[in-house]
Amino acid sequence: MSIVVTGATGELGRLVVDELLTAVPANEIAAVVRDEQKAAPLAARGIEIRVADYDRPESLEDVFRSGDRVLLISGSEVGRRVPQHTAVIDAARAAGVAQLAYTGVLGGPEADFGLADEHKATERLILDSGLPYTFLRNGWYTENYTAHLAPVLEHGAVVANAGDGRIASATRADFAAAAAAVLTGEGHLGKAYELSGDVAWSLAEYAAVVAEATGKEIAYQNVPASAHQEILVGAGVPEGFAAILVDVDAAIERGLLAGTSGDLARLIGRPTTPLAETVAAAVATA
């Protein structure tokens, strides 16, 4: 039996592996990756590398073993994720894995914005498969904002169409710690965890935190959805992805990413990382 992490060289996957290594020996961990060369640092740490591609179901046939605990990290290609995830679920079922944990979206079936659709479909597929499951319904990553500080600092503004909506974000490392806890612990089968930060904040508050960390004047500019779409496309964001971001902002305004269930802090055994701490770290490396 191994603990298997798909997408293990991605931004979240690497952090999950780091967390797992604090709890179990490296030889009990397997990393599913598309690019074996990219996974060389994981192999050097003693982790088994299993090469497969979500888009090639045949490559997944021998990736899982009976009794494995598997983390399916959702694919990053919006619009292609349902067939990709289906291939992983089918392979996991054929192998007889002991657990399939899936990184979905906060709110699960109640999330009514476009980005949630493939996550909801994947949860239904997992339920229909009969596999022992754990749903990790991840909220928004704080890094979704702090990784894009350059235009904020250049223009002195946080631009969005989220109104006064609040975001209970947490860091990727927080979510990774929760995934590792579920994969190494007991009592998580058949559970759905609503994972979010301890404190929900508004984008006006985010702008104020960035201003304090940088000493610059930063304002929050709430704009109509159509104007935000034009701004994003003008900045080089592909039109389809810009529409997704605008739709998420509308969901934020409706309060769909503001929930603070406490599940994340309980799973990781500590408070989630404060917004100001993540902003300060991002500013220091900007």
- At residue 91, what is the residue type? A
Question: Cα–Cα distance between 78 and 116 in angstroms, integer?
Answer: 10
For residue 249, the domain's CATH number is: 3.90.25.10
Q: What is the pLDDT of residue 243?
A: 95
Domain housing 217: 146-166+198-259+270-285
Same-domain status, 81 and 151:
no
On the question of pLDDT at 213 being above 80, the answer is yes
Residues 97-112: tens digit of each pLDDT: 999 999 999 999 999 9
| Region 193-198 average pLDDT | 98
204 three-state secondary structure: helix
Same-domain status, 151 and 281:
yes
Vertex 10: Cα angle to 190 and 141 (nearest 5): 65
Would you say residue 173 lies in a domain?
Answer: no
Same-domain status, 152 and 280:
yes
Q: What is the pTM of this model?
A: 0.96
Would you say residue 20 lies in a domain?
Answer: yes
Question: Cα–Cα distance between 107 and 116 in angstroms, integer?
Answer: 9
Same-domain status, 152 and 76:
no
Could you tell me the CA-to-CA distances from 139 to 124, 170, 252 in Å, in that order? 19, 8, 11
Same-domain status, 100 and 157:
no
Q: What is the pLDDT of residue 1?
A: 82
Same-domain status, 15 and 54:
yes
Q: What is the pLDDT of residue 130?
A: 97
Question: Cα–Cα distance between 171 and 20 in angstroms, integer?
Answer: 17
On the question of pLDDT at 286 being above 80, the answer is no
Domain count, the chain: 2
